[in-house]
Structure 1
Amino acid sequence: MSENGHDLHAEFPQHHDVLHTLKVESTAFRELSERYHAVAQEIHRIEHGIEAASDQRLEDLKKRRLQMLDQVSTMILEKKAA
């Protein structure tokens, strides 16, 4: 998803190593990362007219993406504190 700037490494460039460690060590992180990627792709398709959706649907997806970013941020902080 790097073409639209919403992959996790673009969102957290200063935490590249922690993201990699989480991806290797945490099933929960991998699942969250996959869900995040799917939502980011759907938003990208809607915003570029590839897929049709209501404004409410797009807003809901963006809110979900932000919630997932909050979860990732928490996981990063927890990993760094460990």
Structure 2
Amino acid sequence: MLGENHLLTQEFPEYLAAIIELKSTNSTFCKMAKRYHQLDHQIRGLESNEVPISDEHFLELKAERAALKDQLYQLLVAHSKLPS
């Protein structure tokens, strides 16, 4: 869907507490989450404003966002399995 927001908290609502915690305690997660949000904002802007961009570049942006989402998910799952 064009212009759809892919916030981590909307994509993974079951990991809300882990997202908040990792953003403040894990610098790797925080950097990756910031890049993910930058990409999401950029992609939504390109879609909603119909900015001319090559298909190749647009697909690269979306592929990077998807790869980051997968990596962030893995970190969330691993964090959630740690004993409290």
C-alpha distance in structure 1 between counterparts of 2:57 and 2:37, whole Å: 17
The Cα of 1:5 is off from its aligned counterpart by: 2.2
**In the alignment, is residue 64 of structure 1 matched against residue 75 of structure 2?**
no
C-alpha distance in structure 2 between counterparts of 1:44 and 1:51, whole Å: 10
Mark the runs of 5 or more structure 2 residues left unpaired by the alignment.
none
Structure 1 segment 1-82 matched on structure 2, within 5 A: 4-49=4-49, 51-82=51-82
Q: Which amino acid aligns with 1:19?
A: I
The Cα of 1:48 is off from its aligned counterpart by: 1.1
The Cα of 1:51 is off from its aligned counterpart by: 3.5
Contact 2:18–2:76 (8 Å) recurs in 1? yes
The Cα of 1:49 is off from its aligned counterpart by: 2.1
C-alpha distance in structure 1 between counterparts of 2:9 and 2:46, whole Å: 22
Mark the runs of 5 or more structure 1 residues left unpaired by the alignment.
none
Range that drifts further, 65-74 or 42-51: 42-51
The Cα of 1:50 is off from its aligned counterpart by: 5.5
Following TM superposition, where does structure 1 have runs of at least 4 consecutive aligned residues deviating by more than 4 angstroms? Answer: none
TM-score (norm: length of structure 1) = 0.88
Alignment size in residue pairs: 80
Q: Which amino acid aligns with 2:53?
A: A
